Structure 1
Amino acid sequence: GSLGARAREPQRGVLAAATREGSAVVWRRVGGAPEDEPEKAWAPLAPLSLGRGLAPVQLGWGPREGLLAMRYTTVEGSGTAGGLCLLPETVLARVVHGNWAAIQTDASTVRIENVATGGATLLQSEMRIVGAAIYANTLAIWSRSKVAVYEFDTSDRPRKDPKLLGEFESRTVAAALWDDHIYMCVGNRIEVANFIGSVQASMGLSDSEGEPIAIHIAGAVRAGAPNSGGAASLGAYVAVGTSCGFIKSWDISRQEPRQHAHARQLVASGAGQPQASRVTSVAIASDGSR
């Protein structure tokens, strides 16, 4: 179609374009293109349908990460009208624990699959999912304002629909499950809550360390849980990565979490130094050694 609007976000390396026929495409800069073929430095994402009868006239990236705004016109009867719509980016979540994986297939659907047998069930949610965590037979999903925790059927028989264990408001940006608790990155702390959202412990970070934005838990699976093999608890550890490039970990095998390792900054910042890095993912060994 014919180009109706475009917008570039240099900081994130993304470019959006919309056609007058109501379609949009976003490209992400991947680099590595030869000088005579600069277009190969950009990889297209899946195209979007903006709706029948909408003619984009302007695109713009919002201040929040992954938010694209579109101003459009549409013909109504003998005249024209206009409007504004927001197109939030959906980064599909994929998580695995033991023999089970949770794979987000669209903005509100998660496929829960046994990676050994291929058996699967779908979870449809009313929320716009931005993250997921799985542990044994428990799945947590969250939006930017709400968390929901489900128990799913692990039997070989025709599986029942996932059972909702709890749903509560939270502005978590990342979370992980362990035993009967969910560990959530909220503000400058990690909140430890049960499945109905009652916070039972909290682990804080200093202003200089930044806010936790990535989290991972490893250790011995609790006795009696699916895939545990009846193993006794040998310890469990949680690690977080922060917005200022720090890695920090705690021992959560006891009733009260205790710091396992001092915070470490991956890239130093300061006078003459580059700006601190931002951690996008983190992992810790099951024995907490690395």
Structure 2
Amino acid sequence: MLGRVQGKVALVTGGASGIGAAIVELLSQEGATVVATDINEMNGPEIVTRLKKAGREVSFLVQDVTSEERWIEVVAEIGKRHGRLDVMVSNAGIGIGVPSIVHMSLQDWRRQTAINMDGVFLSVKHSLPLMRKHGGGSIIMMSSIAGLRGSANLAGYSATKGGVRLFAKSIAMECAQVGDGIRVNSVHPGIIDTPIWGKIPTGAPGTGQNAPIGPEERARVVAPLGRAGQAIDIAQGVLYLASDASRYTTGTELVIDGGINAGGVVRAQAAAC
């Protein structure tokens, strides 16, 4: 079924790779006019060129989500080009892992918080006025299962994603209170096979222990479904929240994690040993 977001204008931050790129592709496939933003000035235009050749309505803007000045410019540009904003996907984020919180520098803590939380705050602050001009829409904030439960070696990341979860709920209540027609929800991916796993430094300073984490190997151990998810799995959830199919859904969490947050299982072959 196509056209589930036909006629809507969507902004997707962190849209040049991984989950963000999958969201851009799927929303545009389903009829939305999509503005993708990212700091990656190479991947973003390449994705847009490919999708435009397929007849999609997609554009790319360079954006550092921690810059309030740039947020003002991006939203103003969307208003000028399209006259409205129906879907805001706050997807940009980073993950910094350390063997222990004592090894995390204040600089890394602040950098991660600036992107994962300040960027989401700014997305809402500057997108809401344009969304309200046209009677509503959907704000979708990318959190994580690390925002629902503790995660060793990712305490700083968990803190930001837990903050995103409750920020989404609070903004959902604020929008409901004023009756602006804007729904707000958070999405909580589990172990998804994207390039971010190779970018998460895990070693203490000076140890040289920065081997990338293998998502498939990790998922086989901790995910009840026994495999890592794909970016399209998260994009499908975002599509639901962006579409009118979720018109009665606000202030909630969409968990897409292969069952990790639900509990653990003993696999049949392991039980037979």
Report the TM-score, using the length of structure 2 for normalisation. Answer: 0.25
Report the TM-score, using the length of structure 1 for normalisation. Answer: 0.24
Q: Which has the higher contact order (CA 8 A, sep 6+)?
A: 2
